[in-house]
């Protein structure tokens, strides 16, 4: 009997996350029980539980490792249950970027690092509602980080101009940050 | 332009090296062209660049690099040698160290004439431009990890406001403006062009003191 899989609710989530070194294999877990939990990841990256911010960074970090995006939304997943949460924008924010050789390494607000490349693209898309372009980068699976404004500016500072467009390269892939218009 | 006139002007108009302090406030900024843009509020990270003025008999030029992280195409990103300050370093220390690391410019070959205005980037750096006077011949070698290419652009071209352009891109629904000084097939822009614009303003006046430019060119 594996006791680690027995708890439910937030205690179970914490237990499932702690049971693994590195990232838990959430893609392999298909728990029978599903429910909702009052957790909201706000657009500014603050995790709210029952209306109050979760102040402990290590707890947020722990929960983020069992986050999964399914067709019906974001969930915290354990071997025994799947708890739906609310994500206002994207689950993570890219708060720093560094170059390591030919790769751009992004760091997220929960401490993940991701090297941009064909599998982990940088995407600048236009929000269908507001019409505003918004940059993001894939962190793992179908979980993305919104690229914070200063980080985007740092990308632009690293960009090359090709055919009137700002291009950054990372991991043998080129990413288009947008067009440059000539002024006077 | 005579080298003597230029050197005298740099010496007279730049800030003395003793003006530098780690907690200086920016005097120029990426935000100068984007006054409405929001800052993220984090403390600025101190950095320095070396603006190397090469005193060729035929006319001064500015040494620039194309960073290795840009594409193979010749339009890649162009920068001065430079980077973050290490703990305990001054802006001059860091500029000379980075120039040595990036293009093997011997610090002893650089006569530091002074500082330009501290410059705030949108990415959260506070860059102190250090202006160095270098009398050729000097051999530079790009560090392959950091620099794809080293080249020189004529001083007179860079300091002519006819070549200063205000380009822009779109970000979060707003136009983000920056300076650009396209030279031949090379697109000098963004922070590097902003630093050059700041040097121009300090040497010749904010709107371009045409009389001073003409005097130097005579």
> pLDDT, tens digit, for every residue of A36-54?
999 999 999 999 999 999 9
pLDDT, position B39? 81
Nearest chain B Cα to A130, which residue? Answer: B173
pLDDT at B175 over 90: no
Largest CA distance in chain A: 73
End-to-end CA distance of chain A: 73
Domain assignments of chain B as residue spans, ordered by start = 3-17+43-217
Between B91 and A171, where is the model more confident?
B91
ipTM entry: 0.76
Interface of chain B toward chain A, CB-CB under 8 angstroms: 30, 38, 40, 42, 67, 69-71, 73, 75-77, 121-124, 145, 165-173, 176-177, 180, 187, 189-191
Interface test with A, best of B29, B43, B69 (most A CBs within 10 A): B69
Nearest chain A Cα to B124, which residue? Answer: A150
Domain assignments of chain A as residue spans, ordered by start = 3-87, 92-179
Give the residue-averaged pLDDT of B102-128.
Answer: 96
Of B68, B17, B193, B37, the C-alpha closest to B119 is B193
Is A92-179 in the same CATH topology as A3-87? Answer: no
Interface of chain A toward chain B, CB-CB under 8 angstroms: 99, 101-102, 130-134, 148-154, 156-162, 166-167, 169, 174, 177-184
Grouping H, G, I as helix, E, B as strand and the rest as coil, residue B98 is helix
Give the residue-averaged pLDDT of B42-49.
Answer: 93
Phi, psi of B196 (to 5 degrees): -65, -40
Residues of chain A positioned with their CB less than 8 A from the CB of B41: none
- Tell me which of 3.40.50.720, 3.30.2320.80, 3.90.780.10, 3.10.540.10 is the CATH number of domain A3-87: 3.10.540.10
Cα distances (Å, whole numbers) of residue B149 to A83, B62, B69, B195: 53, 14, 11, 20
Q: Does domain B3-17+43-217 have CATH number 3.90.79.10?
A: yes
What's the Rg (C-alpha) of chain B?
17
Q: Which superfamily does CATH assign the domain made up of A92-179 to? A: duf1285 protein (2.30.270.10)
Flag the least confident range among B11-20, B40-49, B190-199, B201-210.
B201-210
Instruction: State how far the Cα of B47 lies from the Cα of B81, in Å rounded to an integer.
Output: 11
Of B76, B59, B60, the C-alpha closest to B68 is B76
> pLDDT, tens digit, for every residue of A134-157?
899 999 999 999 998 889 988 988
Of B86, B127, B89, B35, the C-alpha closest to A154 is B127
> pLDDT, tens digit, for every residue of A101-140?
889 999 999 999 999 999 999 999 876 676 666 899 999 9
pLDDT at B59 over 70: yes
Query: Exposed, middle or buried: residue A22 (CB in 10 Å: 0-12, 13-18, 19+)?
Result: exposed
């Amino acid at each position: 009997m594996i006791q680690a899989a027995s708890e439910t609710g937030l205690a179970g989530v914490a237990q499932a996350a702690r049971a693994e070194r590195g990232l838990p294999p959430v893609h392999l877990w298909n728990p029978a029980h599903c429910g909702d939990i009052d957790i909201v990841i706000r657009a500014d990256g603050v995790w709210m539980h029952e209306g109050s911010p979760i102040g402990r960074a290590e707890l947020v970090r722990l929960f983020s490792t069992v986050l999964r995006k399914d067709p019906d939304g974001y969930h915290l997943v354990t071997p025994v249950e799947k708890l739906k949460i609310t994500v206002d924008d994207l689950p993570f924010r890219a708060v720093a970027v560094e170059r390591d050789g030919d790769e751009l390494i992004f760091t997220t607000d929960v401490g993940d690092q991701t090297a941009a490349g064909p599998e982990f693209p940088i995407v600048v898309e236009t929000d269908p509602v507001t019409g505003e372009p918004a940059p993001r980068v894939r962190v793992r699976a179908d979980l993305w980080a919104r690229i914070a404004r200063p980080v985007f500016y740092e990308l632009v500072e690293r960009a090359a101009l090709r055919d009137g467009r700002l291009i950054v390269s990372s991991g043998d892939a080129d990413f288009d940050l947008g067009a440059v218009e000539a002024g006077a | 332009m005579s080298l003597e006139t230029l050197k005298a002007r740099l010496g007279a108009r730049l800030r003395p090296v003793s003006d530098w302090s780690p907690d200086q406030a920016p005097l120029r900024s990426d935000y100068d062209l984007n006054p409405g843009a929001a800052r993220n509020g984090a403390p600025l990270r101190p950095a320095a660049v070396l603006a190397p003025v090469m005193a060729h008999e035929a006319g001064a030029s500015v040494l620039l690099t194309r960073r290795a992280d840009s594409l193979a195409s010749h339009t890649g990103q162009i920068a001065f040698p430079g980077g973050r300050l290490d703990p305990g370093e001054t802006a001059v220390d860091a500029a000379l160290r980075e120039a040595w690391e990036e293009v093997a410019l011997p610090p002893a070959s650089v006569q530091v004439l002074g500082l330009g205005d501290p410059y705030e980037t949108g990415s959260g750096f506070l860059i102190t431009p250090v202006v160095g006077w270098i009398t050729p011949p000097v051999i530079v070698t790009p560090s392959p990890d950091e620099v794809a290419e080293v080249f020189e652009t004529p001083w007179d071209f860079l300091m002519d406001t006819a070549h200063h352009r205000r380009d822009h891109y779109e970000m979060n629904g707003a136009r983000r403006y920056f300076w650009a000084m396209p030279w031949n097939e090379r697109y000098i822009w963004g922070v590097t062009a902003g630093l050059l614009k700041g040097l121009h303003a300090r040497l010749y006046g904010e709107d371009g003191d045409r009389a001073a430019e003409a005097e130097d060119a005579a």
